[in-house]
Amino acid sequence: MKSVTLMAAFLAIFAHANAQLDTSGPRVATGTETQESESVELSDAEVQKLKDSIHATFKFQTGKVTLEHGIVINVPKGFRYLDATQSHRVLEDLWENPKSETMGMLFPEDRGPLDDNTWAFDINFEEMGYVKDEDADKIDYDDLLKTMKEEAVEANKTRAEGGYESINIIGWAAAPYYDKTTKTLHWARELKFGESEQHTLNYNVRILGRKGVLSMNAIGAMPQLAEIKTHIPAILSSASFESGHAYADFNPDVDEVAAWTVGGLVAGKVLAKVGFFAILAKFGKFIVLGVIALGGAAYKWITGRRRKEEEVQAEEQPEPLAAGEEVESESQTKA
């Protein structure tokens, strides 16, 4: 039976980090308390039980989901939808991404946010206006990639100021493809976050609408590229705009035309997000899950993502957990 001493590992990391950071963190146990803590061990089965208990706090949905901006998601077979509020918890608290907009996530039905091989589609809407697609056949995506790499380097300066890891674009994991008939665009980037040896996959899906673009981005690891690609057709067919919001409903007399083009969508600002696998790669499964079990404040402290205002909020008002159950229903959900 494989087991590790979670609290001992936690205390060791804490001591190392505390020596380099002039700030307060979780209280370090001493004396008898330390000896008692070091006797705490978790087997593989217990770790799985811990993950299952965390997953049980999420409420997933299947069936038809109606979102803002006239967006309808008919959750594809084999997937389940997590609403915006709970998705913020996954993306920011569990996966350690900066705060950003989300309208929810689509997870494979056999994966939870903390599973080793998890991945998911992050859903959003960019209200930028009607995107003309005349340039779609004229884009040199190799030149575009070069420009994107250069811009990512500049953007990393801002990320560093905010205390976040750099994002470097390695290259195309799947070259951009635009379907003029369905007004859908998809491409994949291979990314490197910080000094991580395991690269991140961001598979981008865009569906053009009358007043903006529906964004569905798969967050995973590079080894999951083949698996994610097999689901792209189902994801594309699962999303649509209601009548009056579709691309064909554009009225040049009243609607705003976006400054963006199809090429601009691909080359847009790198708003990539990283998945749970990157946290595991950096700190190890047992340590991460053990610290999560200890509490959100300790987890943020260990992963180096603390912010003073978040610590104060966490101490004053711990975030309540949602009741865990999976339902199949037609729902009205707003980000």
CATH (domain of 98): 2.60.120.1690
In this prediction, residue 280 has a pLDDT band, given cuts at 50, 70 and 90, of: very low
- pLDDT per position as a tens digit, 99-111: 889 999 999 999 9
Count up the domains in the chain and report the number: 2
SS3 state at 155: helix
Q: Domain check: are 216 and 253 in the same one?
A: yes
76 found inside a domain: yes
pLDDT at 61 over 80: yes
Q: Domain check: are 231 and 273 in the same one?
A: yes
Contact of 213 with 207, CB cutoff 8 Å: yes
Q: Domain check: are 267 and 120 in the same one?
A: yes
In this prediction, residue 41 has a pLDDT band, given cuts at 50, 70 and 90, of: low
pLDDT at 130 over 90: yes
pLDDT at 37 over 70: no
Contact of 302 with 17, CB cutoff 8 Å: yes
Between 269 and 331, where is the model more confident? 269
- pLDDT per position as a tens digit, 229-242: 999 999 999 999 99
Position 273 scores a pLDDT of 53
Position 159 scores a pLDDT of 83
201 found inside a domain: yes
- pLDDT per position as a tens digit, 176-189: 999 999 999 999 99
Average pLDDT over residues 10-32: 38
Position 315 scores a pLDDT of 52
Between 20 and 174, where is the model more confident? 174
Question: Which residues, in sequence order, are CB contacts of 7 under 8 Å at separation 6+?
Answer: 29, 37, 38, 40, 290
- Angle of helix 276-283 relative to helix 285-294, nearest 10 degrees, comes to 110
Q: Name, of 16-30, 104-118, 150-164, the range with top average pLDDT.
A: 104-118
Of the candidate ranges 61-70, 194-203, 212-221, the one whose mean pLDDT is the lowest: 194-203
pLDDT at 4 over 70: no
- pLDDT per position as a tens digit, 293-318: 444 443 444 444 444 444 455 455 54
Q: Domain check: are 122 and 34 in the same one?
A: no
Average pLDDT over residues 181-207: 91
* Sign of the four-CA dihedral 204, 82, 224, 169: positive
71 found inside a domain: yes
Burial class (CB in 10 A: 0-12, 13-18, 19+), 308: exposed
Q: Domain check: are 267 and 221 in the same one?
A: yes
In this prediction, residue 70 has a pLDDT band, given cuts at 50, 70 and 90, of: very high
Last residue of a domain, one of 262, 278, 294: 278
Q: Domain check: are 257 and 298 in the same one?
A: no
28 found inside a domain: yes
Longest CA pairwise span in the chain (Å): 76
In this prediction, residue 135 has a pLDDT band, given cuts at 50, 70 and 90, of: confident
Q: Domain check: are 81 and 178 in the same one?
A: yes
Q: What is the mean pLDDT of the chain?
A: 76
182 found inside a domain: yes
Q: Domain check: are 162 and 68 in the same one?
A: yes
75 found inside a domain: yes
Q: Domain check: are 293 and 274 in the same one?
A: no
DSSP code of 246? B
Question: Which residue has tokens 């951009």?
Answer: 176
Q: Domain check: are 204 and 147 in the same one?
A: yes
- pLDDT per position as a tens digit, 109-126: 999 999 989 999 999 999
- The angle at the Cα of 122, spanning 121 to 124, to the nearest 5 degrees, equals 135
52 found inside a domain: no
Q: Domain check: are 88 and 220 in the same one?
A: yes
Position 289 scores a pLDDT of 45
Question: Which residue has tokens 């997953």?
Answer: 55
- SS3 of the chain: helix, strand, coil, percent, to 5: 40, 25, 35
**Strand blocks (E) in the chain:** 3-4, 42-43, 59-62, 64-66, 71-74, 79-82, 104-108, 120-126, 130-132, 167-179, 184-193, 200-208, 213-221, 239-241, 257-261, 325-328, 331-332
Position 162 scores a pLDDT of 81
Domain span including residue 19: 3-40+284-320
51 found inside a domain: no
Last residue of a domain, one of 228, 258, 278: 278
Q: Domain check: are 11 and 129 in the same one?
A: no
